[in-house]
Structure 1
Amino acid sequence: MAKRKRRSKNRHTGRNWIISILAVIVIFLGVYVGHHFYRIWNQQRIEQEAREKDRRAKQLFIQQVAPEAQAMQNTYHVYASITIAQAILESQWGTSQLASQYHNLFGIKGTGTNSRVMTTKEYINGKWIVTKGRFRVYDSWSDSIKDHTRLMLNGTDTNQQNYDRVVHATNYQEAARGLQEAGYATDPDYAQKLISVIKAYKLYNYDK
């Protein structure tokens, strides 16, 4: 009888040991899975916060440049949506050094002491190259927008009617194509990029 009791006790001890091991495994898996899902949730939260911060920054930029763009449209018929979209593309939402430090939103070239030499990208012979250019310096974004409108109205030194199609356009799509045809930018997709930005952020509402 004593031997049987010992064997039963050993079986009981072994069973408890197995249960303990299984409990440890379950706890470990629970912690691992919980930590895994927490990392996923936390990463999603960080990404969501970054997207929200980016959205607010972009909306703020639009709100900053829209009033002057609309004022120029009301007086000179240069579509506000085009002006805002160009400012977005040319200045990278106002974050480029040219825009943030020198208030040049449109990459307008300049000469003399009121200009700075900056690095820029140009699309030449079917590829993008990095080059140097001299760009105008302004006191404010508002001044930059006014000068952009003057450029549309007065054209270039070699062609005063260069941007007539932009000024006399009947919709923003026509104005965008007019900018590309006039050679405002070397990017072969410039017009389509402008149109896409206008649609994505509903900038056509500022034309009303």
Structure 2
Amino acid sequence: MIVLFSFVFIFLGTLYFLAQEITEDQVTQYEPLEEQEFIVQIADYAKVLQDKYGILPSISIAQAILESDWGTSELSIKNNNYYGIKGGGTEPTVTMTTKEFVDGEWIEVKADFRKYASWQESMEDHSELFAKGTTWNENQYAKVLTANDYKEAAYALQESGYATDPDYPGKLIRLIEQYQLDQYD
């Protein structure tokens, strides 16, 4: 009888616990595991690349999140391109439709994007792009590398022409702050 009573007590207590309302604060504090796994997956390599090239890990991680939609975009899944890096020449590429912000409006265009053997290769190429610049301007991303913090680096990316989205720096900064990515810098 005591065992039955104990079971009923535990069962009812569990039901009571499950029936409690979850507050809005509890919901906003919850981070889906998949997102945290993505961050953890690339954070250590981002730190290695910081030592090698000087790019802040928070910027590298935030760009990977934004550009690849947490590693779920077609470009990242099929081609390991976490940064939307365009390609041409002898590099392996894939042609895809993308959106660009031109003359104050969003338009769809077809563009050639780099294909990579692994996500690490994509991260390495991303860091090399900042360190070596482009074929037409080797100092194109110099301000990104010399930035004192992630906010300055985010705005330097925009000024350097990395993305056409006028809110690109704001999106990166929000991601960095929401997920505390600056802890990896």
Match of 1:55 among 32, 52, 58: 32
Q: Which residue of 2 aligns with 1:162?
A: 140
Q: Which residue of 2 aligns with 1:153?
A: 131
- Match status 1:69 vs 2:56: no
Query: What is the TM-score when the length of structure 2 is the normalising length?
Result: 0.82
Match of 2:58 among 81, 105, 113: 81
Q: Which residue of 2 aligns with 1:127?
A: 105
Q: How many residues align?
A: 162
Contact (CA 8 Å) 2:151, 2:173: kept in 1 or not? yes
Q: Which residue of 2 aligns with 1:97?
A: 74
CA distance in 1, matches of 2:153, 2:126: 14
Equivalent residues in 2 for 1:1-208, closer than 5 Å:
55-111=32-88, 112=90, 114-207=92-185
Query: What is the TM-score when the length of structure 1 is the normalising length?
Result: 0.73
Encode CA deviations 1:76-133: one digit per residue, 9 max, x unaligned: 2110000000001100111000001100000001114611001111011111111110
Contact (CA 8 Å) 2:91, 2:114: kept in 1 or not? no
CA distance in 1, matches of 2:105, 2:49: 35
CA distance in 1, matches of 2:145, 2:47: 14
Contact (CA 8 Å) 2:53, 2:128: kept in 1 or not? no
Aligned-pair identity in percent equals: 47
Aligned partner letter, 1:67: D
Aligned partner letter, 2:176: I
Q: Which residue of 2 aligns with 1:26?
A: none
Q: Which residue of 2 aligns with 1:29?
A: none
CA distance in 2, matches of 1:104, 1:87: 9
- Report which of the two structures shows the higher radius of gyration computed on alpha carbons: 1
CA distance in 1, matches of 2:161, 2:91: 26
- After superposing on structure 2, the runs of 4+ consecutive aligned residues of structure 1 that deviate more than 6 Å are 51-54
